[in-house]
Structure 1
């Protein structure tokens, strides 16, 4: 998409950033061919200045894009953000190249200015002195490698301890989850038993109430019967009327 159709200022900034990226690419290619440390340093300073300018332009580009967010649709805003991310990524790649070349220049300058223990520069050293110096550098390199190995081993040990700790914590969490599941199951079972007990108690209460009412009725009838024994209504109630005794006249014949 042509950025000029979105904003002339955005298109202008994009063009300037593209020019700087081309200049940085050509500058680092030229830097690879330079052997003199002093010229390398000057070239790096020039490239560093271009990278600072590029960073400022990217900031301006981001500011203009934010101003246009409300007027642009989502697709345009997405494209502009991806454009900005590409610019930042490209600039970071050149910053990394700059750091690598800066280390090389510093190493060359240090080697060029270093002297051995006798005060002799490398160009004036004899073959034996060069061999001794090389052996010394190799010994120092071996010691550095051993230190690096120790650091790596310590890092591995820490990683193993961390892994074991995480495994123990994971096992503990699994046990807690299992216990929670058991508690939840017990709560559900207890709730079910409570509901069944409630229903049973309700049924028992109904039966007890009916028996109590019958008992009160019987007591009431007995009390009324005692107070009013001649009450016919009470006498007609089955089971409460007095027993009827059948009396038969016994005829005993006289014997002459």
Structure 2
């Protein structure tokens, strides 16, 4: 019964290995990074299932070890080590793809359980506890660095936003001052236009008065000239200061 169980588990593991091989071949043909990430997640699930089956295989092997002869036990252990190595190769290949994609989400998803065969029951001969701790510390350092970079980007974004808001505020205030100055200039131009119109009207009125005075002066001068030229003109004798003087002797005679 133990040999049949081991054979069944081995068959299921080999099926998963074939699926992993086909999956990574398909992954090489995918160009879109999002589809590659989804493909890696599917392959990750298959490797997790393969790890579980290898651990089950190891448990069955230990339970039936007393029933098997040394040669059979050696062959079965060699199969187990061969399956562990093959799974390790797929894990390494998966890590390589994840690094090339720089997909932090996949890295965080895998977390400490990324090395499916890094379990002490499977890789005790390949990795010590200190190496496991160092590997965990290294992953934590990488995560801290990623968080630090993200925090730096956030601070830089906030600083740029603050500077942009300050610049927009200064430009808004400058535009307000320009609008106020334009309003003042428009008001000054309007007042100047009104003043020019008033001055024009005043000048026109002064010109009319001057023209009228000029005509009066011309008329007076004309009368004076006519009176001098023709002193006996009766039409202008009644004008004060222009009537000819009455002879004194004639007035005296008339009185006698």
205-214 vs 160-169, which moves further: 160-169
Number of residue pairs aligned between Structure 1 and Structure 2: 166
Aligned equivalents of 2:149 and 2:25: distance in 1? 36
Aligned equivalent of 1:122: 118
1:206 to partner: Cα distance: 1.1
Aligned to 2:190: 188
Out of 205, 209, 222, the residue aligned to residue 220 of structure 1 is 222
Q: 1:98 and 2:35 equivalent?
A: yes
CA contact (8 A) 2:236 2:243 kept: yes
TM normalised by structure 2 equals 0.52
Query: Considering only aligned residues, what root-mean-square deviation do their CA atoms show, in Å?
Result: 3.9
Between the aligned partners of 2:190 and 2:203, the Cα distance in structure 1 is: 20
**Larger helix proportion, structure 1 or 2?**
2
Cα distance change of structure 1 residues 184 and 160 upon mapping to structure 2, 3 Å threshold: same
Q: Name structure 2 gaps, 5 residues minimum.
A: 1-15, 48-87, 97-116
Aligned to 2:236: 234
Pairwise mapping of residues 24-173 of structure 1 onto structure 2 (< 5 A)? Answer: 37-41=20-24, 98=35, 100-101=37-38, 104=41, 112-113=91-92, 122=118, 124=123, 125-173=127-175
After superposition, the C-alpha distances for 1:96-119 in whole angstroms (9 at most, x for unaligned) are: 85264256579999981169xxxx
Q: Secondary structure at the match of 1:122?
A: coil
In the alignment, structure 1 segments of 5+ residues that lack a partner are: 1-33, 50-94, 116-120, 252-256
Aligned-partner Cα distance in 2 for 1:145–1:111: 29
State whether residues 234 and 241 of structure 1, in contact with CA within 8 Å, keep that contact through their aligned partners in structure 2. Answer: yes
Q: Give the alignment's TM-score, normalised by structure 1.
A: 0.52
Distance 1:205 1:141 in 2: 95
Q: Greater Rg, structure 1 or structure 2?
A: 2
